[in-house]
Chain A
């Protein structure tokens, strides 16, 4: 194994993990926003056969790739506080998981 491989900076890896968290959180927030607001539901209906699912999922995917590019540009070639960034990423993933769970919508917004 090459020494250079072991010594590779963790910045790009931290960027990828955090971007994954951001994408998931944006997906979750977009999902509950659509449940909360008819106007947002209409605004995210980018393609009628799929309804607002296209807008919600696309926002999450765009946030994922865009934040990855930006964070990678910032952290490329750098060492980061990986544990802390990974923990933040996991919290963001949890936000995505929580807000895509239908009982949470009903709990927060009322209704069945």
Chain B
């Protein structure tokens, strides 16, 4: 495995997947924070775990966007030397050179690289709100609802980035 492969995997399959896989568990954790469903002891135990979990997920998705933007993306968009016909090492140009694959850049990559940044901002907001209110969130259904909406937005943005990242890597891997 080359350094490029390692970083691409770390970006998507480690940081990105930690967030995507952790989302459902954390969302259920927030949803379950209802005073009528939990004992005080249960609430306190749950909320402490949830606080740590949400900050870890927020950190993972920040790490995903930063490694993606500043380590992997420069390899993806690097321009080939003039006259080079083998574009295998220049994914952006490889995709655009063929009409049947240009979509993966002009739609997929263009969407992914921008929308992804909404995810860490929304996830950080969610982690902060749960940190701030803690167990009191069980008695604040409206705020809990908004937390779940923001968290779902964070997931949607990360999922778009993850899905297109996987397809683009398949169509034109970074070598």
Contact = CB atoms under 8 A, between A and B. Distances in A.
B121 interface: yes
A93 B122 contact: yes
Main secondary structure of the interface of A (DSSP, over half): helix
A44 interface: no
Interface string B73-101: 11001100000000000000000000000
B125 interface: yes
Given A13-B133, A16-B128, 12 more contacts: A17-B146, A19-B125, A23-B121, A24-B121, A24-B122, A50-B77, A51-B77, A57-B65, A57-B114, A83-B142, A93-B118, A100-B115
A31 B171 CA distance: 25
B5 interface: no
In this complex, which of B77, B107, B146, B156 has the most chain A Cβ atoms within 10 angstroms of its Cβ? B146
Contacts of B107: 102-103
A5 B117 CA distance: 32
B4 interface: no
A53 B149 CA distance: 27
30 contacts: A1-B44, A1-B136, A6-B136, A6-B139, A6-B140, A10-B143, A12-B132, A13-B128, A16-B125, A23-B121, A24-B118, A31-B114, A49-B77, A49-B78, A53-B69, A53-B73, A53-B113, A57-B117, A60-B121, A61-B117, A61-B121, A83-B142, A93-B118, A93-B122, A93-B150, A97-B156, A97-B157, A100-B115, A100-B118, A101-B115
Contacts, number: 104
B55 interface: no
A18 B30 CA distance: 20
B111 A101 contact: yes
Nearest to B107: A102
Nearest to A23: B121
Q: Range of interface residues on chain A?
A: 35 or more
Nearest to B157: A97
Q: Range of interface residues on chain B?
A: 35 or more
Interface in B122-175: 122, 124-125, 128-129, 132-136, 138-140, 142-143, 146, 149-150, 153, 156-157
B9 interface: no
Nearest to B153: A93
A67 to B, nearest CB: 11
B37 interface: no
A82 B142 contact: yes
Contacts of A54: 69-70
Contact of A97 (B118, B125, B129, B150): B118
Contacts of A86: 146
Contacts of A27: 114, 117-118
